[in-house]
Each structure stands twice: as structure tokens, then as C-alpha cells.
Amino acid sequence: MRTPLNLVETPPGGAWSVLIEETGHTVRQAHISMFLSDGMRHASDNNLPWAGSGARDYLLDLWCQQHPFARCADKDKPERTFGIEDLKRFASSMGAWVSKVAKGESAWVEQGEAERRAAICVQCPNNQDVACGWCSGSPLPVIANHLAGRHTSVDDKLKSCSVCLCHLKAKVHMPLDTLDASGLDLPSFCWLSPTP
């Protein structure tokens, strides 16, 4: 069950809106409270199976499903924290990257590829303000120094990935074979996903 991260601002397009598949009706309101009350009333009037006390959560989850690029979070999932598996992936990725550089191979992808990745990330709901202890410690300045002069046109919108906890401003420039994505639950449209 997912829920939008931002219930205060009206989404792009000027309204909260979902299609109720059972009735073919679209619930559409500029304000979240009106959207929810219209949706709950519609469910009740039409005896929909999700009418009642769970209707609010159902409508918010439905909205997230129908707006895949919106920022939503799993209601029941604990907040993502940096764990041992993240540390292993980070060490593996840094090791592969350093080894590549030491062999004289290109440390960065072409600018066009970095732009392609960045454009996907800025649309992704996992592009979030999440902190990673290791990335904000010593390795980041090293990467940042090497990144000097490397940017994308959407750097101001790139944050961190809430799936891998990586700093996206650095990550989008790194060669794919240096990025350890093992065990990550990446969305299918992610440029790092094995089945994009």
C-alpha cells in the first residue's frame, strides 16, 4: 500500500485525479480533502468492495499506481537506512571503479549517456533527499574531485536514490560495470535495472 509523499501541493495538471475502474468514473479535485471525500462517497454510493474505513488509503494507493512518476512511499515499509548490504555494494562499486581507473580505462560514461540517465532519475519517485553515511563521508569528496567539470543539465534536480542510497550527481556518470546493483529492488524503467 503506497501513499503520496506530498499531500500539500496540488500535483502537476492542477488536480488530484484517479480513474475508478469498476465504474469508469474519474474522481478529480484540486484539493486533496475534496478528492478523498468525493472518492469515498463515490465508493460508498456504488457499493464498491473497498468502500468504508479503508477507502482513504485505497484511493491514495490507487493514485500512486496511476501516477508512476509521482513521489510515493510504501506505508508499511520502515524508513530505508544504510545497512551492511549497502556497504558491501558501495565497497564493490568503488573497488571496480578504482580498478578501472588504474587500468587506464575511461572512468566516466559519455555525456549523452549521463544525460539520459539523469533524465530518468529526475522523473523517478526514488530520487529523494535521503542520507547515506558513507557517501556523505570521505568517499564523496574524492568522487566530487574527480567529477570536477562533470555535470548534467538537471543537476539541480538530482538528489539521492532511495533504493541504493547513492548520490545521483555522481552515479549517473559512472560506467555500468562499476556499479554493483545486486539485491536492489529497482523499478523496471531504471537505467540500472537489468531489464529496463
Residue 168 CB, nearest approach to ligand SF4 (Å): 6
Cβ 16 vs Cβ 60: under 8 Å: no
Nearer of residues 161 and 170 to ligand SF4, judged by Cβ? 161
Helix (H) or strand (E) holding 73: strand 72-74
Which of 43, 120, 132, 179 forms a contact with ligand SF4 (CB under 6 A)? 120
187 is a site residue for ligand SF4 (CB under 6 A): yes
Instruction: Give, as ranges, the residues between 20 and 79 that touch ligand SF4 (CB under 6 A).
Output: none
161 binds ligand SF4 (CB under 6 A): yes
Q: Angle CA(174)–CA(143)–CA(134) in degrees, nearest 5?
A: 100
126 is a contact residue toward ligand SF4 (CB under 6 A): yes
d(CA 66, CA 95): 40
Q: Is 165 in the site for ligand SF4 (CB under 6 A)?
A: no
Kindly determine how many residues on this chain lie close enough to bind ligand SF4 according to the rule CB under 6 A: 12
- Determine if 163 is a binding residue for ligand SF4 (CB under 6 A): yes
Q: Phi first, then psi: give them for residue 180, nearest 5 degrees.
A: -85, 110
Do 107 and 97 touch, CB atoms closer than 8 A? yes
CB atoms < 10 A from the CB of 163, how many?
Answer: 19
- Is the distance from CB of 2 to CB of 74 less than 8 angstroms? yes
Stretch that binds ligand SF4, among 6-14, 67-75, 80-88, 121-129 (CB under 6 A): 121-129
Q: Which residue ranges make up the site for ligand SF4 (CB under 6 A)?
A: 120-121, 124, 126-127, 161, 163, 186-187, 190-192
